[in-house]
Amino acid sequence: MPAVPIPRHRARRWATAAVAATAVTAAPAAAAPGQDGPSMSTSSDIAMNSWADSLLRHMPLEQKVGQLFVATVWGKSADEAHPENRAHYGVDTPAQVVQRYQVGGVIYFNNASTDNVDSPRQLAAFSNGLQRAALAKGPRLPLVVSIDQEGGNVTRIPAPATEYPGAMAVGASRNAADARTLAAVNGAELRAMGVTQNFAPVADVNSNPLNPVIGVRSFSADPQLAGELVSAEVRGYQGSGRPTETVSAAAKHFPGHGDAATDSHTGLPVITRTAEAWRRTDLPPFRAAIAAGVDSIMTAHIQVPALDPSGVPATLSRPILTGLLREELGYQGVVVTDALNMQGVREMFGDAEVPVLALSAGADQLLMPPDLNLAKNAVVSAVRSGRLTERRIDESVRRVLALKWKRGVISRPFVEERQVDRVVGSAANRATIQRLTDRTVTVLRNATDTLPLSAPGKVLVTGVGDPGNPNNSPNTVAAAIAARGSTTTSLPTGTRPAESAIAQAVATAHESDLVVVLTNNLSTYEPQRNLLAALLGTGKPVVAVAAQVPYDAGFLDAPTWVATYSWRGVSLESLVKVLFGEVPPLGRLPVDVPSSTDPTSVRFPFGHGLTW
């Protein structure tokens, strides 16, 4: 790595030449269990270490510390001025954020606040602009560009990119090959848009049906099934092409968020398992991810007294991150914190203390601090005061550099914007994902032989969905049923249907031959339970569809229950195919569904699923 400034127009040429000179020619080999990812050839390993040594010798402390942060940016292009950048960072554009703070990474969101995502081609141009900014100033290192693209309800890049079912839907398929294929398609599309790290798969075992934050983001309540599918997705993301065509996976949330009863975005969950129960239930998927060579592991903002009686969140716990993850499990890859702006990690310590404690505990990447300037200065001050050593900082920087090297970010930081539309959301990709999603729908009950449907006539589709959104779930299902010859009415009611909406649905049901009602989290939303109960009271055939958590089927005794685990269009298309008998229902429950009135009584057991 040259120690002299590199002109902006030479950034691309340098980034390619820097690795070409090291003669890295082969894809990484598979890792042995317990190793930190694919093992590199001896020449590649030596080359990377030599490059990192040279780089670290010439990097001031501030630049090293900057490489450990993954920042939120506002806007849809590197040069777009956005008032939130000024409010948070004192500069106007995402490019200026990257250059001022010399961060090692950025993360994309598509919410109303950050508003990063418009289209695949726009995102590719955004990524290229950020990489040019990173290579033009400071340490001149390409960025890790991160995202949460799990599939299902955690989807940051929607259509026209390919959309994916959630993890629990894949768990219902019991198909590791499908899990690997899904991750390979997702990873290839992300890389085409310039994203190099996906915070997926979720390795949490959803053992608590009332978990408010994980739920269908988990593959299963069974540790072995979850581990098998986590391993498959890690290999799909990281091992399904050349390094420059893959993305770093991140197994999350260590040491396991599946038994939480509190959302760590708003509070600090306490996991009361014994250490032995943790090893049986929560550990296996993370062990599987490590054996598969996962590039990064994300921490959880949870208290686990059996693993660390001090009560600090796992993100800040040295016994958990260093004692368990590093020393016992032998993991030497990147440990990334969950977002540091979440309440779960902020309850006990101030925003200046949290990043210092996270590094002391063993973390490497510091994700989304609420005040980046405060956080970065706090880490620099901790080194200068002797509280942290510069050697400790170097350890984490090396891991971040290795992640960039292994994924080809150093050799190929830019993407070909003109090729994006040929890769992202291609007909072949969408067809592949639709086929595997067709294997996920689970029929839980068909007591009156309502399914499969045959010329149902007038059909009412109602339930969860935003009435003001033309792409809401009832509209999607109604359109698919209408395409098969029925007359349909769509009445989306939202998550909290008003009494007037329930009355309208009941009146329309009386004029219909069949009712399809979509639910989403009946444990939380009593008005949805009232809607379903009222529709069942009409005497009309009702198909109840748990369009997210399958646990909804434990609340009301509908004669027909179907679980899709997701309300994304790809899952709803599979639902309609199953309803009409075009494909058989092959999904089997990856969790127990308990009775809402007696949580110790299982209404639909793990592995249950009807077919024809």
Query: Annotated active-site positions, please?
Result: 338
- The SS3 assignment for 153 reads coil
Q: Which distant-in-sequence residues (6+ apart) come within 8 Å of 6 by Cβ? A: 14, 135, 136, 140
- Six-digit token string for 525: 């939303």
Stretch (H or E) spanning 570:
helix 569-579
Omega before 9 within 30 of 0, i.e. cis:
no
Backbone angles phi, psi at 599, to 5 degrees: -60, -15
Q: Which distant-in-sequence residues (6+ apart) come within 8 Å of 101 by Cβ? A: 66, 69, 71, 89, 372, 373, 376
Start-to-end C-alpha separation, the chain: 62
- Six-digit token string for 461: 């589709």
Strands 560-563 and 542-546 turn out to be: parallel
Q: Which of 164, 172, 167, 152 is nearest to 610 (CA)?
A: 172
- Rounded to whole angstroms, the Cα distance separating 285 from 275 reads 16
What's the alpha-carbon Rg for the chain, to the nearest Å?
A: 25
- The SS3 assignment for 45 reads helix
- DSSP state for residue 303 in the 8-state scheme: B
Stretch (H or E) spanning 275:
helix 275-281
Say how many residues make up the chain.
612
DSSP track, 447-480: TT---S-----EEEEEESS-TT-TT-HHHHHHHH
Left if phi > 0, otherwise alpha if psi is -120 to 50, otherwise beta: which for 398?
alpha
Q: How many CB atoms lie within 10 A of CB 597?
A: 9
- The SS3 assignment for 134 reads helix
- Rounded to whole angstroms, the Cα distance separating 255 from 298 reads 9
